[in-house]
Amino acid sequence: MLSDTELQRVQEVAAGITVPVTMVMHRLDSGSFFENNLWNIACQINGVSLNRIRLDEKCESSGPFLPYLALLNDDLETIFYHAAPEGSEFQPFLDIVTWLGSTGKPLSGDGEQPDGIQRSDPLELLIFIAPTCPHCPVMVRT
């Protein structure tokens, strides 16, 4: 669960975005602590944002890494949270919500590439985090 201070930060971010952001919670309805915590955090974010950060729900019976929270970007699920965006991971989560909510543009790799690197397919990164690691939030933000 998010603290009152964190919820206030969500409200500040939501007040500053111009394009609504959608989160999709993929659930198993297993009743696990992790799933309940992730669902509660998503509901808190949705509630205090006055629906500027929207919440949709999908119940699935199979799939890798369930449950998870996804952020939609141009109607595509592009950012997946298999960990709760809390603690040191909370600010990077707010940063991406701010970016998605202020540009409304899809994430892309249209920036300059180093010499010799050509990119035609979307890049997929899987970042494993540790809640106490000081470097993980920087990698998530990057």
Number of domains in the chain: 1
pLDDT tens digits, 34-46? 999 999 999 999 9
Query: What CATH number is given to the structural domain containing 72?
Result: 3.40.30.10
Structure tokens given for 103: 């540009």
DSSP E strands, the chain:
21-27, 53-59, 68-73, 76-81
Of 25, 29, 20, nearest in space to 57 by CA: 25
Structural domain of 64: 4-141
Question: Is the pTM here over 0.85, yes or no?
Answer: no
111 or 7: whose pLDDT is higher? 7
Is the pLDDT at 114 greater than 70, yes or no? Answer: no
110 or 29: whose pLDDT is higher? 29
Helix (H, G, I), strand (E, B) or coil at 86: coil
Burial class (CB in 10 A: 0-12, 13-18, 19+), 42: buried
Structure tokens given for 51: 């629906």
The pLDDT of 6-33, averaged and rounded, is 92
Structure tokens given for 114: 């180093």
